[in-house]
Chains A and B, each alone.
Chain A
């Protein structure tokens, strides 16, 4: 049995930002004589870390530091430009809350759709759909189309499905950022159950308290690089000091105008 379930080795990712956006055939045809510049926006630069079996690892950093891009690469949604990601167990991600539903279908059908994408069999979904709806407190709205749902309702449903679908690794982008106090408490309880059952968790957050209380270990991401790795509360402290000092932990690549 391998010690680490996910190995991220030297991952880099850059997006090419064109000076002029061309999204249609027409724009490409008429723009053929006007060359455009491409700016390279380096989002991740040589990032390496490992996720060990049974641990909860936090990835922290301020907005725009590359956290969400890194998660998408780990989950296989984005390809890396350079570097490799080795995964040795199935990953269940909760990324980009609020999107991810077919608005023309009701909650039950959407649960079937998302559940089967997340790797559940139809039998498993059928057996747990009531429990999923109950966890999200949406039993009364089971046959309501998702287009009539509020953003909070659909987010609760997303958490509920993923908590049910998780097999080995749970990946959370901004953990427990949704719902009222009661739902948050149930999420936390469910989270602790999963941890107690030996599940491995990868959490992304810009909130140091979240990382300190829910993670064993953490990495601090700044300017697309990992600038600190260690015990979660130590890294959280470092993050707070970086924030309060107002300067970047690494050499700045670009200055935003104040």
Chain B
């Protein structure tokens, strides 16, 4: 039975029996897709009060930051002709990382009221919580492209493909982090404050406002442990400098992303079954 015929059945029997008692597997997938879409839609609506104007504010935050930082630091790093482009790539990727991890961390708590309603895969609540940040990142990507084109270096196909792959890795890292911390936050209610501090310090650990080159090379390995660093550096290489990082570098990033995601899933599976008891 297809989902379409289920709905037809429903219309015929709506007065008495409502939803069909037994749902075929395909229809269950339709229900899940509907849940994902509703979560994304209502999240967007609640956050930006259903208006495009609200969304513009989300874009203005890193843009205003960009203007201020550029005004100040482009004098300091005047010798680097790519500084402005490097800065905007770094800031936008960082803004995604900071926003998405903060939202993901509190996602299960914020949407906990749904956990006690029925049994359903609760990871959907966590993964969809970063949808807003992903939408913003998509808009950022367009803005970055416009900036690059204005600077006379519109990215070609390979650079765009690499950048998308790096964004994919960053999303995997953020999803892993969110899965792990969303369940832990229910037990440790100041985890969001701890993370706020870490994010604030992390902004300076990642080479966003300064070029990585000013740090002695023996320290680079430590900076690369902080996940935003390789994503930002590789994206700059592909989009701004027009170079391709080494295969080893790509493998390291892929392993990093896979490990974060795997650890997140493992921690979530360990703690999620009892999540409702900690709400």
Q: Are A92's CB and B118's CB within 8 A?
A: yes
Q: Known contacts being A79-B273, A116-B35, is A100 close to B18, with CB within 8 Å? A: no
> Are A197 and B17 in contact, with the CB atoms below 8 A?
yes
How distant is the Cα of A167 from the Cα of B13 in the complex, in angstroms?
12
A100 touches B38 (CB 8 A): no
- Any chain A CB within 8 A of the CB of B153? no
Partner-binding segment picked from B20-28, B66-74, B244-252: B20-28
The smallest beta-carbon distance between B191 and chain A, in angstroms, is 6
Residues of A within 8 Å of B196, CB to CB, are none
- CB contacts (< 8 Å) of B16 on chain A: these are 193, 197
* CB of A76 within 8 Å of the partner chain: yes
Most buried by A among B39, B116, B190: B116
| Chain B CB within 10 Å, residue with most, of A95, A165, A167 | A167
Main secondary structure of the interface of B (DSSP, over half): helix
Given the interface pairs A122-B38, A124-B7, the reply to whether A117 lies near B19 with Cβ below 8 Å is no
A167 with B118: CB separation less than 8 A: no
Minimum CB–CB distance for B17 against chain A, Å: 5
A119 to B177, alpha carbons, bound, how many Å?
28
| Contact partner, A167, options B20, B42, B113, Cβ 8 Å | B20
**B14 contacts the other chain (CB 8 A):** yes
Contact B21 A124 (CB under 8 A): no
Known: A25-B190, A25-B191, A112-B38. A124 touches B118 (CB 8 A): no
Q: Name which of A72, A90, A101, A116 has the most chain B CB atoms within 10 A of its CB.
A: A116
State which of A55-63, A102-110, A230-238, A240-248 sits at the interface with chain B: A102-110
Interface string of B254-279 (1 = CB under 8 A from A): 00000000000000000001101100
Q: Does B237 touch A at the CB level, under 8 Å? A: no
Partner of B119, one of A25, A76, A127: A76
Distance (Å) between the CB of A124 and the closest chain B CB? 6
Cβ of B204 within 8 Å of any chain A Cβ, yes or no, is no
Q: Which residues of the partner chain A approach B18 to less than 8 Å between Cβ atoms? A: 128, 163-167
Q: Are A99 and B3 in contact (CB under 8 A)?
A: no
Given contacts A24-B190, A90-B23, contact A113 B118 (CB under 8 A): no
Mark contacts of A19-56 with chain B using CB atoms, 8 A cut-off: 1 yes-contact digit, 0 otherwise.
00001111010000000000000000000000000000
Question: Once bound together, how far apart are the Cα atoms of A15 and B277, in whole Å?
Answer: 9
Contact of A118 among B11, B39, B118 (CB under 8 A): B118
* Bound Cα distance A104, B48 (Å): 11
A25-B188, A102-B46 known; A165 vs B19 contact (CB < 8 Å)? yes
Nearest-Cβ distance from residue B38 to partner chain A, whole angstroms: 5
Shortest beta-carbon distance from A152 to chain B in Å:
18
CA A203 – CA B167 in complex, angstroms? Answer: 50
**Which positions 37-83 of chain B face chain A at CB distance < 8 Å?**
37-39, 41-42, 45-46
Whole-angstrom distance between the Cβ of A142 and the nearest chain B Cβ: 15
Closest to B184 in A: A25
Asked if A114 CB lies within 8 Å of chain B CBs, one says yes
Taking A75-B119, A127-B11 as given, write out 9 further A-B residue pairs in contact, using a Cβ cutoff of 8 Å, ordered by the A residue number: A25-B191, A77-B115, A89-B21, A90-B23, A91-B118, A116-B31, A117-B114, A120-B34, A127-B10
Give 13 CB contacts A-B under 8 Å.
A72-B116, A77-B276, A78-B276, A92-B118, A96-B116, A102-B111, A109-B45, A113-B42, A122-B34, A127-B14, A131-B14, A167-B19, A197-B16
Q: Which 3 A-B pairs have the closest CB atoms?
A: A76-B119, A24-B190, A116-B35
